[in-house]
Amino acid sequence: MNKKITRTLISVFYKDGLEAIVHELAKQNVEFVSTGGTEEFIKKLGYAVTPVEQLTGYPSIFGGRVKTLHPAVFGGILFRRDDAGDVKQAQEFKIAPIDLVIVDLYPFEETVAKGGSEEDIIEKIDIGGISLIRGAAKNFNDVLIVSSRDQYAEVLQLIKTKTCSSDLADRKRFAALAFDVTSHYDSAIFSYFNQEQNIASFKSSYQQGQTLRYGENPHQKGVFFGDLTKLFDQLNGKELSYNNLVDVDAAVNLVKEFEGDTAFVIIKHTNACGVALGASVKEAYLKAFQADTISAFGGVLACNQKIDLAAAEEINKLFFEILIAPGYDAAALDLLKSKKNRIILQQKISLTATKQYKSLLNGVIEQDLDLHTDSKEDLKTVTKRAPTSSEVNALLFASKVCKHTKSNTIILAIDGQMLSSGVGQTSRVDALKQAIEKAKAFGFELKNSVMASDAFFPFPDCVEIAHGEGIAAVIQPGGSIKDQDSINFCDQHNMAMVFTGFRHFKH
């Protein structure tokens, strides 16, 4: 059923985009009711405005905390126009209907993000605004609610094409948008307070959603919730897919481990098939590619330094899905953009998340992200022979890669280069055997290399196999009741082994 707009309440924090709406409403002789800065804004456009204080008989009080919380305002929004009892009461108390409510909310999230004081943050918890939005949305049968400046263009088009009226479908849509706004706002406020309280309640809200071509497989639907434009500028290529996004996440998290070095990683199905450091981007790429020249085909590549032309000329020889870097020389970018579907991303900021969650069974499971990176300070030498400085560098390098690889995993490496990986195996022995086989397949000599494990060795079999291949040093968390068996074997064969005390399972 169409409803004509004859009276509107407008009270907004953000006024950009509002002017055109005010002009259009005025052309249709709509009466304006407003407060504070918005009231002045409308007056400056040359239109008469009824102050809210005139309706309520009260001024704005308590520093602006109470302005609109009054039956003269909420009654005009909430009374049901088709209910005889409501209509009678509205007439009895001289409450005039309000047909359109344009209200946004104080910038709570923005104030938190800018590091505002607690006093500033608390004052940005909107009371009147959110109540007006909820009230108007609840009475969508009679009232049109505009709850965000993001909706201004849509509502302007609506009142233009429908001559300042709306139908039920319009009002119901805007009501749904309003409850999206209020629920997101409340989730943000709860998350702020829950930093101290640690209440066991899961709330996470993302208002931006991007429909993907499909999910993990073509028969599955997929949506990404979040704002990728904050992280990346896409400089070339097709739309990112579900699987692309999963691999991009793996790539940027792994390359982040090597801040201060020139690092290059190649990802396939979330696991690294090549990781290396170099004196240049070109050198790092070639060393990473060397680890698995087959799996790199169709992979996701990431570097933590600007891509120059020398590196781009080598990278361009490979068919890959995505390249991520913090910058590109102009000539390098021109070359890399020669393939129209090749996705080129420029990363603008580093990831800052501290929590991780996923749907599981009939609920959601949440945990802290594994943000611990093994360092020299973590290393406890448990064998008679301590690792050399070069071996320590190689062990820490391998441990960083291991942390980002599916369990059970073994990483074989030298200083600054992954030689191979055994990933996602049901036993650690199988992971090691897979890693050895891959290293040999790509021509690597394992003598004097190192081995990293994401978890402890329950038996000495892995160090026994490693010794047989000439592996000289081992890094692992430790913690098995049979640790001493592995230590004893290493001592008997002049191998070095260090414990970190940190397990890095990844499932």
Q: In whole angstroms, what is the distance from residue 134 CA to residue 145 CA?
A: 9
Name the active-site residue from 269, 306, 339, 372: 269
423: three-class secondary structure by DSSP = coil
Question: How far, CA to CA in Å, does 391 sit from each of 141, 202, 259, 328, 450?
Answer: 72, 44, 20, 33, 7
Q: Give the C-alpha separation, 502 to 477, whole Å.
A: 5
Task: Encode 186-195: b = buried (16+ Cβ within 10 Å), e = exposed.
Answer: eeebeebeee
Structure tokens at 353: 């998340």
Instruction: Give CA separation, 456 vs 353, 382, 448, 478, 484, in Å.
Output: 28, 13, 21, 5, 12
Measured between alpha carbons, how far is residue 178 from residues 20, 77, 147, 320 in Å? 21, 15, 5, 43
> Does the active-site annotation cover 138?
yes
Q: Which residues pair with 320 in a beta bridge?
A: 299
Torsion sign, CA atoms 420, 422, 428, 432? negative
Q: How far is CA 21 from CA 37, 93, 129, 133, 275, in A?
A: 16, 30, 19, 18, 55
Beta bridge partners of 417: 276, 414
Which helix or strand (DSSP H or E) is residue 499 part of? Answer: strand 496-499
Residue 376 CA, chain-centre distance (Å), reads 31
- End-to-end CA separation in angstroms for the chain: 53
Phi, psi of 477 (to 5 degrees): -70, -35
Residue 190 to residue 414: CA distance in whole angstroms: 47
Q: Where in 201-360 does DSSP place strands (E)? A: 209-211, 223-225, 232-236, 263-268, 271-277, 299-303, 320-325, 343-347, 355-360
Q: Please give the C-alpha separations between residue 58 and each of 64, 73, 128, in angstroms, as whole numbers.
A: 12, 12, 14
Helices and strands (H, E) in the chain, number of each type: 18, 23
User: Active-site residue among 138, 172, 306, 433?
Assistant: 138
Q: Kind of pairing, strands 144-146 and 165-166?
A: unpaired
Strands 343-347 and 232-236 turn out to be: antiparallel
Positive or negative CA dihedral for 433, 506, 289, 304?
Answer: negative
What are the residues facing 10 on neighbouring strands? 34, 102
137: left (phi over 0), alpha (psi -120 to 50) or beta: alpha
Tell me the catalytic residues.
Answer: 138, 269
